Amino acid sequence: MVSTATLAAHLGFVTSTHDDGEFHPPTLAEFFPPAIFFEGTPFEMNRIVLVRLLAVAALLLLFYIALRRTTRVPGRGQTIAEMAIDFVKVQIVDQILGEKDGRRFLPLLAAMFFGILAMNITGIIPGLNIAGTSIFIVPVVFALAGYIAFVYAGIKQHGGLRFFKNQLFLPGVPWPMHFILAPVELLNVFIVRPISLSLRLLLNMMVGHLLLVLCFAATHFLFITGEGLGFASAFGVLTLIGGIVMTVIEFAVALLQAYIFTLLSAVYIQQSVAEEH
Amino acid sequence: MQDVNQAAGGEAPEGIELFIPAVYDIVWSIVPFIIILVFFWKFVIPRFTAVMDDRTATIEGGIAKAEAAQAEADATLDQYNTLLREARQEAAKIRENARAEGSTILAEFKADANAEAERIVANAHVQIEAERQAALVSVRNELGGMAIDLASRVIGESLKDDRRSASVVDQFISGLNEPAKAKG
């Protein structure tokens, strides 16, 4: 059982600054909050899990409201939803994969883009203040989905053997070089790709969160909890401005990372499907 | 309160443990992903595609309709022009015919008028001839009578004997005619 006070504390802002008059810089503990529900079971939920579920619920709700009654001449909500999906379709999927293959992979890539975006954006929503994607396993799940998609697409297109041959043996290379290049390609395609995707997103979100916490925690300390600071507390203005600027940047990063993640996944699928790469 | 806040910090894993997810985290990252994927797969993208295709079809239908209307208008215009050209030709033909007919009628009129004039002239000639003959006869009679009267008075004897008087008159008239013929 969780007491109401604990629950309130867990659901509230998680900062590293406590009211003990000393400054605590943010730590990685930010990303490992204690359990709130179902502790000790596989369905244990902590604050970040709840944030993730909330993001999913909001995403579903928005798209459901926008598209529940689609009309030929769209209303405002439908127009926005259409523009958003059209961005993914035109700027990422059709551009990389072409119209024909794009149609097959649009559901996956759109789910990827909007899922990541929704979970990224919670990082700057007051009250949530943490990106759902700032836990390693979340980007990994998305990356694995992309991984399965590009391996599946390649094997379906070329058959297993030719797919691996295409991926591992680069054309136009003298054959002895394959002894070196094939293992490198193996490592690159099947191991580095998903890991680099996951890490890029994870670290962007983690670092963004830590910077935000650092700025606001410093502001809090300099303005309120710090004792005997004198004029030094004026630096709080700078940290506050820094925090606001970082919030804006985090918004851009949330969009950008969702875009890059989806774009690279589309590129990987394209490279699997293509005749030669 | 401080205890609660400290507890809220949880225990930070270090090193590689940072990347080894807890079971519940695996569950709660796969579940949202599958929810989102199914939602997009079964709801968002089909809806989006359907409405886009519908709109494309509508626009293409509209374009086709406009093209059909344009074609129809062109055809009508062609038809109209053809009719106009035919009408013009017909009018020209009618005008030509009328002109020809007019000149024929005019010629006929002229011929008729000429014939009529000739007839009138001929009639006049006949009449004049008849009247001349009549006048000649009456003049002959009158003149004969008068001449005999005159001659009777001059001679003092009656020339009542018709046979003689007639021959005298005839001789006289012949005498009248002859100098006229000689004068010619």
Asked if residue A32 is part of any domain, the answer here is no
Check CB contact under 8 Å for A10 and B40. no
| Residue in chain B nearest A82 by alpha carbon | B48
Of A91, A108, A149, the C-alpha closest to A272 is A149
Asked if residue A212 is part of any domain, the answer here is yes
Mean pLDDT of chain A: 85
Please give the tally of structural domains in chain A: 1
The DSSP code for A34 is P
Residue A258 neighbours by CB under 8 Å, 6+ apart: A113, A114, A116, A117, A120
Please give the tally of structural domains in chain B: 1
Question: How far apart are the C-alpha atoms of B102 and B86, rounded to whole Å?
Answer: 23
Question: How far apart are the C-alpha atoms of A46 and A258, rounded to whole Å?
Answer: 24
Asked if residue B157 is part of any domain, the answer here is yes
Q: Residue B156: what pLDDT? A: 62
Asked if residue B103 is part of any domain, the answer here is yes
Check CB contact under 8 Å for A107 and B21. no
Residue, of A101 and B16, whose pLDDT is higher: A101
- The predicted-structure confidence for B104-146, as pLDDT tens digits, reads as follows 999 999 999 999 999 999 999 998 899 888 888 888 888 778 8
Range of the domain at B30: 22-183
CA distance A96 to chain B (A): 18
Residue A96 neighbours by CB under 8 Å, 6+ apart: A102, A263, A266, A267, A269, A270
- The predicted-structure confidence for A130-177, as pLDDT tens digits, reads as follows 888 988 999 999 999 999 999 999 998 888 888 888 888 877 888 888
The confidence band for B171, taking pLDDT boundaries of 50, 70 and 90, is confident
Of A159, A160, A191, A181, the C-alpha closest to A268 is A191
Residue A7 neighbours by CB under 8 Å, 6+ apart: A36
Check CB contact under 8 Å for B51 and A82. yes
- The predicted-structure confidence for A157-170, as pLDDT tens digits, reads as follows 888 888 888 888 87
CA distance A87 to chain B (A): 12
Which chain B positions have a beta carbon within 8 Å of A43's beta carbon?
24, 27-28
Which chain B positions have a beta carbon within 8 Å of A27's beta carbon?
9, 12
Asked if residue A217 is part of any domain, the answer here is yes
Asked if residue B4 is part of any domain, the answer here is no
Q: Residue B160: what pLDDT? A: 62
Is the ipTM here above 0.90? no
Asked if residue B3 is part of any domain, the answer here is no
Q: Residue A127: what pLDDT? A: 87
Residue B165 Cα distances to B151, B152, B161, angstroms: 10, 10, 6
Which chain B positions have a beta carbon within 8 Å of A115's beta carbon?
32-33, 36-37
Q: Residue B184: what pLDDT? A: 45
The confidence band for A1, taking pLDDT boundaries of 50, 70 and 90, is very low
Asked if residue B10 is part of any domain, the answer here is no
| Residue in chain B nearest A78 by alpha carbon | B48
- The predicted-structure confidence for A170-213, as pLDDT tens digits, reads as follows 778 888 888 888 888 888 888 999 999 999 999 999 999 999 99
SS3 string, B47-77, reads HHHHHHHHHHHHHHHHHHHHHHHHHHHHHHH
Token duo for residue B163: 């046979």
Which chain B positions have a beta carbon within 8 Å of A258's beta carbon?
none
Report whether pLDDT(B178) > 60: yes
Asked if residue B13 is part of any domain, the answer here is no
Q: Where are the alpha helices (DSSP H) in chain B?
A: 2-8, 23-39, 45-155, 162-183
Asked if residue A229 is part of any domain, the answer here is yes
Check CB contact under 8 Å for B24 and A78. no
Token duo for residue A157: 């297109």
Of A260, A273, A271, A255, the C-alpha closest to A92 is A260
CA distance B71 to chain A (A): 27
Range of the domain at A128: 55-273
Asked if residue B141 is part of any domain, the answer here is yes
Q: Residue B158: what pLDDT? A: 61
Report whether pLDDT(A216) > 70: yes
Check CB contact under 8 Å for A78 and B51. yes
Strongest mean pLDDT among A1-10, B46-55, B66-75 = B66-75
Asked if residue A131 is part of any domain, the answer here is yes
- The predicted-structure confidence for A90-146, as pLDDT tens digits, reads as follows 999 999 998 888 889 999 999 999 999 999 999 999 888 888 898 899 999 999 999
Residue, of A270 and B150, whose pLDDT is higher: A270
Q: How far apart are the first and last CA of chain A?
A: 56
Q: Residue A107: what pLDDT? A: 94
Token duo for residue A195: 């890991």
Question: How far apart are the C-alpha atoms of A156 and A150, rounded to whole Å?
Answer: 10
CB count in 10 Å sphere of residue A175: 7
The confidence band for B8, taking pLDDT boundaries of 50, 70 and 90, is very low
Check CB contact under 8 Å for A33 and B5. no
Which chain A positions have a beta carbon within 8 Å of B7's beta carbon?
6, 9, 34
Q: Residue A10: what pLDDT? A: 43
What residues in chain B have their Cβ under 8 A from chain A's Cβ atoms? 1-2, 4-14, 18-19, 21-30, 32-33, 35-37, 39-41, 43-45, 47-52, 54-55, 58
